[in-house]
Amino acid sequence: MRSRIKKFPLALTLLVSLHPAAAQLPLPEQDTNRPAGLTQNPAKPSSWSDAQGRNYTRSGVGTWTSYDDAKACVYPLPDPLVLKNGQPVKDAAIWWNLRRPEILEDFRREIYGRVPETTPPVTWEVTATNTIAAGGTAIRKDIVGHIDNSRYPAANPSIQITLFTPANATGPVPVMVIVVAGPGGYGAPRPGATSFEPDPRPGSPAYQLFALGWGYATMEVGPVQNDYSGGLTSGIIGLMSAGQPRKPDHWGALSAWAWGLSRAMDYFETDKSVDAKQMGVEGHSRYGKAALLAAALDPRWAIVFPSCSGEGGAKPSRRNFGETIDNVANSHWFAPNFHKYAGHWNDLPVDSDELIALVAPRPVFLNGGTGDQWADPHGAFLAAVAAGPVYRLLGKQDLGSTNMPAPDTALTSGEIAFRYHAGGHSDAPDWPAFLQFAQRYLKVPGSPAGVH
């Protein structure tokens, strides 16, 4: 996932104001700190690459991308089983009553922003039904959640879901919800953008789910909250703030998308074709960040697959490898409080190992690609290892290894799973391994009991 900072001059201006030294930065092509051997992209001058094709950028505070794993672990990851007062977390009660709330509060205040305690009611409407969708294999419903915007009519967010359940289902089924862009879900809304996701293509993960007797759904983030900095006065964030600028701990787009996913879960709990106790959430790249956050915030998600989620997801923020805090600190994805950690990584009170630990004891499947070093798959693996003690404390199994697996080898013996596929920035190679892992936890009626 490429940095959003380079695309928004106003955001970069704010970063410079937070870090005055950035105002004196030389041009990138004249910067003596630029790694040797880089080639500038003529179509995008802010982007550089090395002989291996890896992406390099210079952040707003002057730091350049690094891919030196030997020097990546600049600071140790925080221990999820040590309270803020320095006392160890010795049992599950201390975790649930003291330590987990501490961690969650830090993520809400300093990184993702607080979801408001009270949000407008959502009224659900099934706008279309197709009983012969996906080549006759599924029943499709197009569903809209109408969000009451009477407090600020200038903002008009909604929640758009497309749900497919197997045509031959005899009862409620497990469903995987995929986080997708939708109109305005990747940059500013574009005229003529379609309102709902099209039917899935044959061979896609949806068909793999149908073969298991499971359902497939998408939730579009764009109608909930636009994915660009100018959208913060609209969407659900603008609705709650009445179009006013955000305060330091106010929510960013990732929290807004996670909120939308929780409201989608509210709907699924009312749909008789869905087993709402067996719901999983998956997202890729920036939507992988949203999926992981959603699972951390809402325990109703039974399993999560945050694919190639990078900085702000499973990648440790303290690691100087690929995408870093310096690239995304000023992004609309996060709370304004997150800005101050650009160039000050070790001041963060929490890190991604603790975000993964917030999902415990529920299963989580992490991944990465050999050709996607920007997202730091090794860092995600290290975070998964560091989250393991929390899973063990809660009576579950950890990753089962402290050694990075070989490409296309899946580590799936415990409730934390990891696969490092040969290839680039994609979730497609890892869906079969994820579904094999997930079948231990999600079951259709009449199938053998899972291993929990």
Question: Of 248, 237, 264, which Cα lies nearest the Cα of 116?
Answer: 237
For residues 35 and 64, give the distance between their C-alpha atoms in angstroms, rounded to a whole number.
Answer: 7
CA distance linking residue 206 with residue 178, whole number of Å: 10
Q: Which pLDDT belongs to residue 24?
A: 86
Task: Name the helix (H) or strand (E) containing 264.
Answer: helix 253-268
Residue 143 has phi, psi (to 5 degrees) of -130, 135
Please report the pLDDT score of residue 196 as a whole number.
Answer: 79
Predicted local confidence at residue 185, as pLDDT: 67
Cα 242-336-291 angle, rounded to 5 deg:
90
Catalytic residue among 3, 59, 158, 285: 285
For 73-88, the pLDDT digits (tens) are 989 999 999 999 999 9
Question: pLDDT of 151-210, one tens digit each?
Answer: 999 999 999 999 999 999 999 999 999 999 987 667 666 554 556 788 998 989 999 999
What does the alpha-carbon distance between residue 366 and residue 433 come to, in Å, rounded to a whole number? 11
Residue 451 has pLDDT above 80, yes or no: no
Greater confidence (23 vs 384) lies with 384
pLDDT (0 to 100) of residue 8:
32
Give the whole-angstrom CA distance, residue 326 versus residue 64.
9
> Around Cβ 280, how many Cβ atoms within 10 Å?
26
Average pLDDT, the chain: 92
Helix and strand counts by DSSP (H, E) for the chain: 12, 13
Task: Find, among 66, 48, 45, the residue nearest to 57 by Cα.
Answer: 48
Q: Is 425 a catalytic residue?
A: yes
Residue type, 114: R
pLDDT bracket for residue 274 (50, 70, 90): very high
Domain ranges of the chain: 5-71, 112-438
Q: Residue 250 to residues 113, 199, 320: CA-CA distances in angstroms?
A: 5, 36, 27
Contact 80, 357 (CB under 8 A): yes
Q: Which amino acid is at 443?
A: K
Q: Are 387 and 393 in contact (CB under 8 A)?
A: no
Identify the three-state secondary structure at position 149. coil
Q: What percent of the chain has pLDDT over 90?
A: 87
Only one residue has tokens 């087993």, namely: 275
The 3-class secondary structure across 236-251, one letter per residue, is: HHHHHHCCCCCCCCEC
Tokens for 105, please give them. Answer: 């509060």
Mean pLDDT of 390-416: 98
CATH number corresponding to 112-438: 3.40.50.1820
Query: Sorting pLDDT into bands at 50, 70 and 90, what band is 445?
Result: confident
Tell me: pLDDT of 119 over 90. yes
Cis peptide leading into 166, omega within 30 of 0? no
pLDDT of residue 191: 54
What whole-number distance in Å separates Cα of residue 237 and Cα of residue 155?
A: 9
- Strand 158-166 relative to strand 215-220: parallel, antiparallel, unpaired? antiparallel
Say if residue 450's pLDDT is above 60: no
What pLDDT sits at residue 189? 62
pLDDT digits (tens, 9 = 90+) for 8-27: 333 333 344 445 555 689 99
φ/ψ (deg, to 5) at 13: -60, -40
pLDDT band at 281 (very low <50, low <70, confident <90, very high): very high
> What is the distance in angstroms between the CA of the first residue and the CA of the last residue of the chain?
34
Higher pLDDT, 371 or 189: 371
Q: Is 114 exposed, middle or buried (0-12, 13-18, 19+ CB in 10 A)?
A: middle
Angle at 353 between CA 14 and CA 90, to 5 degrees: 130
Closest to 452 in 3D by CA, of 274, 213, 278, 210: 278
Per-residue pLDDT, 49: 97
Distance CA 385, CA 404 (A): 10
